[in-house]
Amino acid sequence: MINFKKYIADSISKVINIEPDELSNYIEIPKDSNMGDYAFPCFRLAKELRKAPPVIANEIKEKIELNKDYIEKVEVAGGYLNFYINNQLLIEEVLKEINNKKEEYGKVNIGNGRNVVIDYSSPNIAKPFHIGHLRTTVIGQALYNIYNFIGYHSVGINHLGDYGTQFGKLIEGYKLWGNEYDIDSNPIEELMKIYVRINELCKEDENVLERCRENFKKLEEGDEYCHELWVKFREVSIKEFNKIYDMLGTKFDSWNGESFYIDKMGEVIEKLEATGKLVESEGAKVIDLEDKGMPPCIICKSNGASIYATRDLAAILYRARTYDFAKAIYVTAYEQNLHFKQIFEVAKLLGIGEEKTNNLIHIPYGMVRLATGKMSTREGTIIKVQDLLNEAIDKVREIIEAKNPSLENKEEIAKKIGIGAVIFNNLSTTIIKDVVFDWNIMLNFNGETGPYIQYIYVRTKSVLEKAGYMPKIEDVDFSILNNKEALNVFKLLYQFSDIVVSTANKNETSILARYLIDLAQSYSSFYDSNKIISEDKKNTDARLLLTYAVGNVLKVGMNLLGIEMPERM
């Protein structure tokens, strides 16, 4: 398919002798289509060329050589050059490409098979999978899908919170009250009760807290009793987590949690000691980061126990060797910003190379909040994801019963819509922003939501089913689609690949989510203004092909976000 942006950049480059790749980064898509399909701002060239932007724009316009088959006209507006592409060519290119590639449309091979390691979800063993874990899980899975789509090889890692002081607490609680709780029949719920209870006791009695710390140290040293309990806690927790992952469609290539790195921390400490930068501070071993504007990164506590940072550094070293990653992405709450800044800085001392350490990426996301504020595992005030997903399904089932009770496969459709609504709600908001949980917004079939996009997709399927055939592309008169509503759709369809690439480059799922809303709304406007199936077969053929193209891209885009599409609603 013709890359109009690249063509414009190449053409300008021949006039002003600046590399096309640099010029391509300047080119914009105007919000108002009356200002052209692409705009080249000349302001950045003013200093270098020592001329006013409008003068530069006029000079380029006079000298540039453009193929009229590609670009119909170019105009100067202030310091901008506005390019108007050949709409007929655009329509033909998009429809042929989608017709040929179908669900492969938009795929590119930027990654060349290089590995991208994505660390996401990472719930804590023996604690419920609550709503606070939802965003990391769905963001990580979406990025996993998207990176695969643009030619990388994604490696999904569930870095389970299966080690640390909290297990010392849980072991102590189990010692004190284990016989009071039915762990086997309802493991997570009962372990959670123990955890909340022991935390309360730790607040009241420093000696209990010290025993908890000692339990963790014993666990690190291989104490048989502590280890057996830990294995049990881990196994029952993973079994429960998998129920949720199955509902969300989440997959992992590795379940190596913190415990996996226990025997790998010694090498990290040795490497850091060899640099001479690992120093003692109040009995602990730390890396001083004052020159980087950060507090010291603790590597070993005063009692010799490791902490999160030590294990995360061991994980970086292991992943660099095992996967030779092009990028290593961590999807966690913004509350961990400092932690990742510290370990990424310390990772420079591990000898894995500048290319690796420069591509350690933390994606901080905002919290999911209730009207009452933030949730806390320690206090026991949480919303479990499994309950949330089931409630979403129930609410959609009620809507179906009210609006379309004779619908076949109601249960399957309710699951796709309900779970899809929850996922989309978490991905369509800018990642760094907090998400306020609101059923009325999430399940609005007329709003900027997952169910709305699914509804428009189902409409495309319904239209094609009603027509009873798919036109052959060689029989289609593309000029029929050269109207405002259709062109708005085609310009969005043309952008799909760039949108997916931009989503990956910025690690920002809302870019793709917002695009899908725009495409669905654009098709809805086209549908309202143009009768799809009519007595005029030429009109019908052209509009059916546009309808198919939209449905195809909506499905591919939503699948990339980890959302299944129902065929009926």
Which residues belong to the active site? 127, 130, 133
To the nearest 10 degrees (0 to 180), the angle between helices 4-16 and 53-63 is 100
CA 339-342-345 angle, to 5 degrees, is 145
Contact predicate 150/112, CB 8 Å:
no
- Sign, CA dihedral 422-428-433-439, equals negative
DSSP run (H or E) holding 437: none
Tokens for 282?
């109040």
8-state DSSP, 33: G
Q: What is the b/e burial string over 549-564, where b = at least 16 CB atoms within 10 angstroms of the residue's CB?
A: bbbbbbbbbbebbbbb
Q: Is the dihedral of CA 371, 423, 107, 361 positive or negative?
A: positive
Q: Which residues contact 521 (CB under 8 A, 6 or more apart)?
A: none
Tell me the two tokens of residue 472. Answer: 């052959």
Q: List, in sequence order, every beta strand (DSSP E) within 261-355.
A: 278-281, 284-287, 297-300, 327-333
Q: What is the distance in angstroms between the CA of the first residue and the CA of the last residue of the chain?
A: 34
Are 158 and 254 in contact by the 8 Å Cβ rule? The answer is: yes
Q: How many Cβ atoms sit within 10 Å of the Cβ of residue 174?
A: 23
Closest Cα to residue 122, out of 143, 142, 141, 137?
Answer: 137
Contact 226, 175 (CB under 8 A): no
What is the rounded CA–CA span in Å between residue 233 and residue 230? 5
Got the DSSP string for 276-301? T-EEEETTEEEE--GGGTS--EEEE-
